[in-house]
Structure 1
Amino acid sequence: MHFELGEEVRVFDGYDDDRGHYEQRGDDLDSTVQEIAGQYFGFQDDLLDAIVEQDDCWPPDGDEPFLDRNFNYTPRPISVASYYERWEALREELRTRRRYFSAEASSFFSEIFSDIELLVAHSEGREESVVKNCAPGFEIYRGRLCNSDSVAGAIVASPFKEVGPPPSEVARSGRMNAEGISVLYASSDLHTCVAELRPSIGSRVAVITLVTTKQLRLVDFRALESSRKPGAISYFQDDFSEILERSAFIRGLHRVISTPVIPGREHEYLVTQLMAEYLGHVRKPAFDGIIFESVQKRGGANIVLFRGASDFPVSYRDNSVSFYSVSAMQYTHTKEAYFEKSDGSILFHFEGYDDLEW
């Protein structure tokens, strides 16, 4: 059942009404049936009578009817908790029990990304695919901190070797790769590239421009937030709730993978590392990389390219190496919680979460 009885709420009529009265939220049975069916029938009254008669209710035994013309109904809220629970369980399995050939990981990612090519995002009245096809010649930026003259000299002598993708033997663990697995982290623009290095004041940064050398298929996680599969779904589908829950989880996946990880908790990367391996090597057809929003610069984008059979599909743009000195930084903050003291207890209010009493 995709609807439930509307909640009874107290309503006050003006300032002089200190008692109020109760009203039920939602739409009446007639309107609810029209919403489900998607149309109005000329025999609507007969249809409603037939629906009410189908209610398996026997008042002499104390049963209360669910279907009644005098009741209002609201859609049942969907919950993506089961998907987040599976995400957390998978992370725990990867951290403490097994890392490779996880049956749960294969099942989970196959379900989530089964039809990602069909998803479209809505932006400014337009529809665009979640999968981006980037033509050869697409420019991206890659940077490196260089706080010594010797490092700067090595970069000038060999920019691509020193600032380009790291060889496997020195590849450190990151958001989208395990230690020893080389992926190319880059940015969509110069300013994002510098910000992603998280330099301190006075640091020197070297940035190079890379150019893609072939057609690439990238999953744009930014577009997932407003994505949906074309075509209507019906309340009469057996998997109606499952479709809505999966869609809601997919739309929130961008926030999950782009959230900063606190130093010392790098194990939080385990699931995103496995996800990247799935998208780049296990899934058929595989993808060449992903795009997600930068948390260091608003409006900027990070691009991660997976290594191909031989190397990365990029080349160095001649004479593109530049050096920058960091002279200032700007920080913004968001109030996460506030608290109230009442009757000896403390009630914490967290943005986006349920209140917690302490």
Structure 2
Amino acid sequence: MREGVDVVCDECVGDVFVQQRIRNECDMGRCSCCEQLRHCMPIEALADQVADILDRYYGTGPVIRTVDARDLGRYVYAGSPLAVTVAEMLGIDSESAVTAAIVGLLTVCTDYDLKRGGEARFDADLLYMRRNLRPTEIEEKWQEFKSGVMHRSRFFNDHGKAFLDWLFEGIHHLKDEHGREVVQLFEIEDGLELYRGRYCPPSSDPKKILLSPETELGAPPKEIARAGRMSPVGVPAFYGAFDRETCIAELRPSVGGMVLTGEFQLLRDARLLDFGVLENVFDAQPMSCFDPDYQKKMERRQFLRTLHSKISSPVTPDQEQEYLYTQVIAEYLATQVEPTVDGVMFASVQRQDGINIALFSRLVDSIPYQERTPDDPIIGNGPFPSGVLYIPGTLQAHRIGCVTFDVEPLVIDGDKVIRDWRYEQDPYGEWDY
């Protein structure tokens, strides 16, 4: 390699978007690094592009407090040195000549500039890290979507459908860093264990449930189906959990009452969307700041991290209109996605590590003979039974003796709460309107 770096070719940087830009926009030349004749970009031009990315998407790391072995607090800066940041951005070695040349250009300040009060654009001694982009535009579209389905047109809402098309684009092909799919196919042979329960207040008579748990614990018939998180009035759905403890906690029973729970199994294969996987799926996909769509993609990633909490947040009896937008999401997944989704999985807010499941009506409702599709099994000429079956002998009764709460103390200075718990629960809570 020649002394100094004047130009860099597309093969001497690792970022695919920078490579493509060099091939499309730059002339042929002899690379200062590999000395091959290729499309090359002047190092000053590449440094300017790196500086633009740093200005737009990076900042100096914040001071954070740590605790050492002796429980003495100390303060450190978060982030990476400028050379490491530039190298990671371009996909090259932090000790390469290209990195050194760019850092030199970013941190240089002539004596003339210094005498006039100027300063270098960046400081090699500071630590840098990517800023968290708040998805302001997406949050506004989310609020518009909620308002549209709650106060205007729930059905045939073109704006709402366009938003959901964009939000769930490619949903069947997404995986997290552990290889788990967002939409998972559960087959009958998997033996999926599902639990559903009924709360019996002290004044109630549980005899009807005891005599017929297969019907009393199952999804209600459409004639008496009430509105739920994923289903409107008159549309049956199966709301359950993957363990009895979560099932009981989600009912929020009163002390002194009783809960009856039973185990169910699938009679048909089911595709389930796991919001827990969706929340983290984009962490497995490195994103380039040089991508022209970087900001939109990053904002979508940030928004999807919060969607899980939006879906699983509890709704009080006086806020049942909040179910409307989750009902529309369920209807969209069940009818507009190909192949259709049969249900969703989401975290329990009543029990740590508990997972809830909601199976849509297509899976749990009986299907009249004349409405069957070629994919439905043929069982006589009568209606096809529900796709969820109660397992005989699994009924259990649980007396509610006490209810415990996880309590976290807040720091108080006079009459001021220093840490606002509302923003901790929803990082974009200040945008709700």
2:190 is the alignment partner of 1:134: no
Cα separation, 1, equivalents of 2:282 and 2:394: 39
What is the CA deviation profile of residues 209-261 of structure 1, one whole-angstrom value per residue up to 9, with x for unaligned ones?
11111222111112233322755432221111211221121122211211222
Tell me which of 170, 182, 194 is aligned to 1:115.
170
Q: Structure 1 residues 299 and 7, CA, compared in 2 at 3 Å: closer, same or farther?
A: closer
More displaced stretch, 88-97 vs 222-231: 222-231
Cα separation, 2, equivalents of 1:68 and 1:172: 60
Aligned residues: 329
What is the CA deviation profile of residues 53-73 of structure 1, one whole-angstrom value per residue up to 9, with x for unaligned ones?
9xxxxx9xx9x8985677966
Partner letter of residue 401 of structure 2?
A: S
Tell me which of 222, 233, 245 is aligned to 1:179.
233
2:145 is the alignment partner of 1:75: no
Q: Percent identity?
A: 30
Whether the aligned pair in 1 keeps the contact of 2:226 and 2:234 (CA below 8 Å) is: yes
Tell me which of 87, 107, 125 is aligned to 1:34.
87
Match of 2:331 in 1: 277
More displaced stretch, 318-327 vs 31-40: 31-40
TM-fit CA distance, 1:9: 9.3
2:152 is the alignment partner of 1:97: yes
Q: Structure 1 residues 29 and 171, CA, compared in 2 at 3 Å: closer, same or farther?
A: same
Secondary structure (helix, strand or coil) at the match of 2:176 reads: strand
Cα separation, 2, equivalents of 1:304 and 1:256: 15
What is the CA deviation profile of residues 285-321 of structure 1, one whole-angstrom value per residue up to 9, with x for unaligned ones?
1111111111122221111001227264211112222
2:54 is the alignment partner of 1:3: yes
Q: Structure 1 residues 97 and 47, CA, compared in 2 at 3 Å: closer, same or farther?
A: same
Tell me which of 389, 393, 398 is aligned to 1:324.
398
Whether the aligned pair in 2 keeps the contact of 1:194 and 1:205 (CA below 8 Å) is: yes
What is the CA deviation profile of residues 2-25 of structure 1, one whole-angstrom value per residue up to 9, with x for unaligned ones?
322756999xxxxxxxxxxxxx99
Whether the aligned pair in 2 keeps the contact of 1:219 and 1:287 (CA below 8 Å) is: yes
Cα separation, 2, equivalents of 1:176 and 1:354: 23
Partner letter of residue 328 of structure 1?
A: C
More displaced stretch, 195-204 vs 302-311: 302-311
Cα separation, 2, equivalents of 1:243 and 1:288: 27
TM-fit CA distance, 1:151: 4.5
Would you tell me which structure has more strand in proportion to its own residues?
A: 1
Cα separation, 1, equivalents of 2:289 and 2:224: 53
Mark the runs of 5 or more structure 1 residues left unpaired by the alignment: 11-23, 54-58
More displaced stretch, 271-280 vs 68-77: 68-77
Secondary structure (helix, strand or coil) at the match of 1:277 reads: helix
Match of 1:350 in 2: 420
Whether the aligned pair in 1 keeps the contact of 2:276 and 2:346 (CA below 8 Å) is: yes
Secondary structure (helix, strand or coil) at the match of 2:398 reads: strand
2:221 is the alignment partner of 1:221: no
TM-score, normalised to structure 2, is 0.66
Cα separation, 2, equivalents of 1:327 and 1:218: 34
Match of 1:18 in 2: none
Q: Structure 1 residues 216 and 52, CA, compared in 2 at 3 Å: closer, same or farther?
A: same
CA RMSD of aligned residues (A): 3.5
TM-fit CA distance, 1:157: 2.7
Whether the aligned pair in 2 keeps the contact of 1:119 and 1:229 (CA below 8 Å) is: no
What is the CA deviation profile of residues 76-120 of structure 1, one whole-angstrom value per residue up to 9, with x for unaligned ones?
431123222222222222222222121222112111111223332
Q: Structure 1 residues 66 and 308, CA, compared in 2 at 3 Å: closer, same or farther?
A: farther
Whether the aligned pair in 1 keeps the contact of 2:201 and 2:257 (CA below 8 Å) is: yes
Whether the aligned pair in 1 keeps the contact of 2:61 and 2:79 (CA below 8 Å) is: no
TM-score, normalised to structure 1, is 0.78
TM-fit CA distance, 1:75: 3.3
What is the CA deviation profile of residues 311-339 of structure 1, one whole-angstrom value per residue up to 9, with x for unaligned ones?
64211112222222222221223356745
Q: Structure 1 residues 6 and 218, CA, compared in 2 at 3 Å: closer, same or farther?
A: closer
Match of 1:16 in 2: none
Q: Structure 1 residues 2 and 259, CA, compared in 2 at 3 Å: closer, same or farther?
A: farther
Whether the aligned pair in 2 keeps the contact of 1:207 and 1:321 (CA below 8 Å) is: yes
Match of 1:267 in 2: 321
More displaced stretch, 224-233 vs 326-335: 224-233
Would you tell me which structure has more helix in proportion to its own residues?
A: 2
Considering Cα pairs closer than 8 Å and 6+ residues apart, tell me whether 1 or 2 has the greater RCO: 1
